Structure 1
Amino acid sequence: MIKKDPQITAPQIAMELGISTRGVEKNLRQLRETGTLKRVGSPTFGGYWEIINLDNN
C-alpha cells in the first residue's frame, strides 16, 4: 500500500487492512526502526513514506 500510495496515512492503512490504527502505527514504527521505511516531511500533513530497504539481510 505504501509503495502504491506514499502519502497514505496510518488510519487509511488500518481501514484497508481491517486492523486498529494503533496496530498499524506499531508496525510502521518497527519498519522505521529497522531502516526499512522513512517518513519525509510533516508527520501529520503533507508528508510521505519512503521505502528505504526491502531486503533486511
Structure 2
Amino acid sequence: MFLLSDTLIATGVAEWPQPPAPDFWVLLTHLAAQALPAGGTVGALEARRAPAATYGEMRAV
C-alpha cells in the first residue's frame, strides 16, 4: 500500500496522467497502509491475551 501511495505521488511529480482527485487517493492508500499493520498487531495482541482452552474444556459463549 505504501508503494501504491508513493507511486501516486510520483505520477504528480513526473507530470504523468493521474486519477481524478489524486490527493484523495494518496491519502486513502497511505491511511490503509498504516491501518493494516496496526490492525494485525492489535489482533495478535488480543489473541495472545485470550486463554487457550485445554483438551476437553468447553468455553461458555
Normalised by the length of structure 2, the TM-score is: 0.29
The structure with the largest alpha-carbon Rg is 2
Bigger strand share: 1
